[in-house]
Amino acid sequence: MSEAVIRVRGLRTKLSGKEIHKDLDLEVRKGEILGIVGGSGTGKSVLMRTILGLIRPRAGTIEVLGRKVDPVDRETMLSLERRWGVLFQDGALFSSLTVGENVQVPMREHLKLPPVLADQLAMLKIRLAGLKPEDANKFPSELSGGMRKRAALARALALDPDIVFLDEPTAGLDPVGAAQFDALLKSLSRSLGFTVFLITHDLDTLYAVTDRIAVLADKKVLVTAPIAELERHPHPWIQEYFHGPRGRAAKASAIVPATS
């Protein structure tokens, strides 16, 4: 079994007086693509932001890459930020910057690079994300939804991260665009060796790319397992989610026919 690169123990979070998580435990293994699923209001994005140090928990501990996450400890947080990349919902690109400039934002924050080298590295990430060189000079408003997601992925990869966090990366994409993004993510994670923390409601994505899935329910991680095991779990939400019409269709599309 691979070592854990993220360990969450006894996590309790509360926002606007409402308890979101209570006694939540989670481990993310090195090199895996872990899907995070759960019903509306279960705190999937809150969990990601808490791990990233953007939300301070009421109780519990979080370790990432062997270091304790503490929003007050700026030196530790800067060190961790150099080793992870983040794709927030809708990409969260800076509208006033070109794609190339967006990709260079983490480089400027954490590295001291000559402008020419920064330009070259940004172009490399842009091409890795499946965009064309000429897209580097475009603004987010000039991009399609799929291109914006790829640009945001290029920015998440800017510092060659050990872990990539993605929050609903295929939301709003058509089925073809979503499938292409899934294939790209899986290929990059395997070739570059980074771990993926993936929040998604897209069943096609879950079947296509995840190694394991963590289900949030009842204010905690109810179970973490490969999708084949989850299908047998008796919890009502899990049964409805994976065995409903959309779940059955996603599973059917993930089955590759044997070649003669």
**Per-residue pLDDT tens over the stretch 137-189:** 999 999 998 899 999 999 999 999 999 999 999 988 889 999 999 999 999 99
Provide the pLDDT for residue 256.
Answer: 52
Element (H or E) spanning 104, and its range? helix 99-110
First to last CA, the chain: 34
Within 10 Å of residue 248's Cβ, how many Cβ atoms?
A: 12
Of the ranges 2-11, 86-95, 124-133, 197-206, which one carries the lowest mean pLDDT score? 86-95
Pick the CATH number of 4-83+161-254 from 3.40.50.720, 2.40.30.10, 3.60.15.10, 3.40.50.300: 3.40.50.300
Provide the pLDDT for residue 84.
Answer: 97
Write down the domain spans for the chain.
Answer: 4-83+161-254, 92-160
Report residue 132's pLDDT band, with 50, 70 and 90 as the boundaries: very high
Provide the pLDDT for residue 248.
Answer: 72
Helix axis angle, 236-243 relative to 245-254, nearest 10°?
60
**Per-residue pLDDT tens over the stretch 29-68:** 999 999 999 998 899 999 999 999 999 999 999 999 999 9
Provide the pLDDT for residue 135.
Answer: 96
Q: How far is CA 228 from the centre of its chain?
A: 21
Higher pLDDT, 195 or 108: 195
**Per-residue pLDDT tens over the stretch 67-118:** 999 989 999 999 999 999 999 987 789 999 999 999 999 999 898 889 999 9
User: Scanning the structure block, which residue is given the tokens 């996590």?
Assistant: 11
Using alpha carbons, select from 67, 35, 40 the residue that is nearest to residue 51.
67
Provide the pLDDT for residue 251.
Answer: 78
